[in-house]
Structure 1
């Protein structure tokens, strides 16, 4: 009983004070994953962009791919089969051909859209973008891809304070070298002790692998860290007190509500809830 009492006192003490834990000192940016806010439209479409932009997230993340005729289309997958039923890669068709194809997802349907139309809508409505450039294959020469992309959109992206990130560090280095004014980031699928220092203004890292040491390392480099993709209230609470700079989510409205909650959990409280694996806070 004595041991149990000591443990209980320690837990009460740990959740009632914040003296030995990091202080929350950063404003967390809300980033809509694939332009979605729940099931408000087909992800990565003009349809969902129009709906989600009314919420005014800090950024809307969008995936783009190269087409056969050297244009850019809004598309996440390297094959259209899951969204359209067509066994076709974006780089195997022209933009004109792709824009005639209908996508279906989460109870909605709409046409595939060009990145130009998507970006124009965002820019005309004051919506900042986080653009993920997908590379078709290992054989794709990222130097030529970055050259074409920057010639079409570089100046406009800088003008509207948009961001670019990619899983391809070579592509990011190429973009940074060609236009240092563009803010670029490297997407990392897991926490790693060896972060590339050159050519990146920020890192986008899978949220479940994050810890305070990594967040601190990135900030000591003078760079930002974005967490992806957090969709439940538990992880949103946890990330919001870890001093990450932004949270990428399919539910930006939910995240917005959590960030506005008075008396939001301190780091130690969020840690306790996380460790106890509580799945629902609201």
Structure 2
């Protein structure tokens, strides 16, 4: 028995010392300028520009959402065959346009001949009000130029070094480094972006989210020094409830802004805000604005 105790003492002490050192040296994330400029209010983030209201990921949607008064625009980016960054969620054009094929098989010019308002409907296909209205898949640069002031969440949809490098270049060219949060399911892309664009805010990758949740469950989240500034999660994933006041409090203690996706119903919005969510990523930003008591009428759009 004594041998067993002695055998366990050394590794136990080592773990205890390691955790103590980590706790003493850990640093919370610093609030990035993109968020500090928005104040303490709960943020309304238009998912794909508000895909429940307008054709998703289109300049039309981003301009309408901005005029509506949202705090941030969320969008997805990929590369064309000629190396241009375009704003589109899927790897193919089939679902949202009148075309067929993979995005990366088209040049920018070819993509922009497609009708990106073709498939949008608000009534289950009874009508398609945005067909033949000149709505195209936008180049990211066009969005950055058209909406320079509003904050943005830009999700990298592929693990592609060329995409990361070109995005960094665009953010610098259009003075958007302090106006964006970069998200991705690919840790490698986020790591490269942090190296190539130091200081640009990022959200947690799935592996970072899992680690935070595990450390929070063990009561050890205070030892983490996040390389990211934003925690963007769904309320549930794979049958596991992620949204809890305990997780939100731990995340905030590590300097993280907690934003939930994709939240479309007001009762759920209210519940998450009461739990401590700091941002709602939603297809219906008008509903979130209404819930928060903010104006929901679109202001005049510049020509």
TM-score, normalized by the shorter chain, greater than 0.5: yes
Q: 1:153: how far off?
A: 2.3
Q: Are 2:180 and 1:162 aligned?
A: yes
TM-score by length of 2: 0.69
In structure 2, C-alpha distance between the alignment counterparts of 1:257 and 1:65, rounded to whole Å: 33
Query: 1:99–1:112: 8 Å Cα contact kept in structure 2?
Result: yes
Structure 1 window deviating more from structure 2 (181-190 vs 198-207): it is 181-190
User: For residues 42 and 52 of structure 1, do their structure 2 counterparts lie closer, same or farther at Cα, with a shift above 3 Å needed?
Assistant: same
In structure 1, C-alpha distance between the alignment counterparts of 2:209 and 2:244, rounded to whole Å: 8
User: For residues 224 and 29 of structure 1, do their structure 2 counterparts lie closer, same or farther at Cα, with a shift above 3 Å needed?
Assistant: same
User: For residues 97 and 194 of structure 1, do their structure 2 counterparts lie closer, same or farther at Cα, with a shift above 3 Å needed?
Assistant: farther
Match of 1:73 among 86, 90, 93: 86
TM-score by length of 1: 0.74
User: For residues 157 and 205 of structure 1, do their structure 2 counterparts lie closer, same or farther at Cα, with a shift above 3 Å needed?
Assistant: farther
Structure 1 window deviating more from structure 2 (249-258 vs 83-92): it is 83-92
Which residue pairs with 2:234 in the alignment?
A: 206
User: For residues 55 and 37 of structure 1, do their structure 2 counterparts lie closer, same or farther at Cα, with a shift above 3 Å needed?
Assistant: farther
User: For residues 185 and 66 of structure 1, do their structure 2 counterparts lie closer, same or farther at Cα, with a shift above 3 Å needed?
Assistant: same
Aligned-residue CA RMSD (Å): 2.4
- The runs of 5 or more residues in structure 1 that have no matched partner are 1-25, 262-282
Query: 1:157–1:163: 8 Å Cα contact kept in structure 2?
Result: no
User: For residues 157 and 89 of structure 1, do their structure 2 counterparts lie closer, same or farther at Cα, with a shift above 3 Å needed?
Assistant: farther
Q: 1:48: how far off?
A: 1.2
Query: 2:98–2:115: 8 Å Cα contact kept in structure 1?
Result: no
With a CA cutoff of 8 Å and minimum separation of 6, indicate the structure with the bigger relative contact order.
2
Query: 1:67–1:94: 8 Å Cα contact kept in structure 2?
Result: yes
User: For residues 168 and 99 of structure 1, do their structure 2 counterparts lie closer, same or farther at Cα, with a shift above 3 Å needed?
Assistant: same
Query: 2:76–2:89: 8 Å Cα contact kept in structure 1?
Result: yes
Query: 1:80–1:86: 8 Å Cα contact kept in structure 2?
Result: yes
In structure 2, C-alpha distance between the alignment counterparts of 1:189 and 1:230, rounded to whole Å: 22
Q: 1:55: how far off?
A: 1.2
Match of 1:128 among 151, 155, 165: 151
Match of 2:264 among 203, 210, 231: 231
In structure 1, C-alpha distance between the alignment counterparts of 2:275 and 2:186, rounded to whole Å: 26
Q: Are 2:36 and 1:36 aligned?
A: no
In structure 1, C-alpha distance between the alignment counterparts of 2:271 and 2:208, rounded to whole Å: 17
Query: 1:33–1:62: 8 Å Cα contact kept in structure 2?
Result: yes
Which residue pairs with 2:171 in the alignment?
A: 153
In structure 2, C-alpha distance between the alignment counterparts of 1:44 and 1:189, rounded to whole Å: 27
In structure 1, C-alpha distance between the alignment counterparts of 2:193 and 2:245, rounded to whole Å: 30
User: What secondary structure, in the 3-state scheme, does the structure 2 residue paired with 1:83 have?
Assistant: coil
Structure 1 window deviating more from structure 2 (165-174 vs 180-189): it is 180-189
Match of 1:58 among 67, 71, 74: 71
- The runs of 5 or more residues in structure 2 that have no matched partner are 1-39, 122-127, 216-223, 237-241, 295-303
Query: 2:231–2:258: 8 Å Cα contact kept in structure 1?
Result: yes
Q: 1:51: how far off?
A: 1.4
> In the comparison of the two structures, how many residue pairs are matched?
228
Q: 1:242: how far off?
A: 1.6
